[in-house]
Amino acid sequence: MQGTTQGTRMQLDHLAFAAGPEGLDETTRRLGGQLGARFVEGGFHPRFGTRNRILPLAGGQYLEVVEVLDHPAAEKAPFGQAVRARSEDGGGWLGWVVSVDDLGPFEQRLGRTAVDGSRFTPEGHQLRWRQLGVKGLQSDPQLPFFVQWLSDPGQHPSAGGGEVALSKLEIAGDHDRVDEWLGGKANLVLDQLDIEWVAPNGQPGVVAAVFTTPNGLVRV
């Protein structure tokens, strides 16, 4: 599930889901029940004032449920702001995330500078990455943001996944706008994934995701 643009490999890395008012524990319990799988503890993002739980998926992807914390970083970091706004709106899909080998060309093209991110896993490993484009997501939620992983690939949050796989995304928006943002065709990034572009009825962004699970197809 990979494509290239400007000589840089791109692929769908993960989907982000903001916890609702019931909190991270109950949100992941509910989603895990729907998908027939158990989320695992992720960790605290000190740069963003958030924490997450992870469901590894097949194909090197994962599903992240994230919760904003009462932490000074959450007030300043665009990612913390985005999570808080989505949670206060009832929770739900925050967005989709594309991984690239090198953020340099994207920084240059978008005129923005990537920020560092990190978290410690429960096993004590530090995951490190750089990310770019959350402000674009804030202003236009159909747009993905970008990550460049700096950690050992064996520590990627998708490790151990396989029983649940992402098979379809429903996105309210304009695929031409997304192509422009990516600097290439979205279908190169999502070449094995069924994408349904629907006209926004209100806010653009991820409307739903369909997963193959031990319980059959599940739409969230």
pTM value? 0.92
Per-residue confidence (pLDDT) for residue 156, from 0 to 100: 94
pLDDT by residue for the chain (220 residues), tens only, comes to 344 445 567 889 999 999 999 999 999 999 999 999 999 999 999 999 999 999 999 999 999 999 999 888 888 999 999 999 999 999 999 999 999 999 999 999 999 999 999 999 888 889 999 999 999 999 999 999 999 999 999 999 999 888 999 999 999 998 899 999 988 777 777 766 788 888 877 789 999 999 999 989 999 9
Domains of the chain in sequence order: 10-150 (3.10.180.10)
How many CB atoms are closer than 10 A to CB 77? 22
Structure tokens at 65: 């449920």
Rounded Cα gap, residues 21 and 146, in angstroms = 27
Per-residue confidence (pLDDT) for residue 7, from 0 to 100: 52
Rounded Cα gap, residues 89 and 74, in angstroms = 17
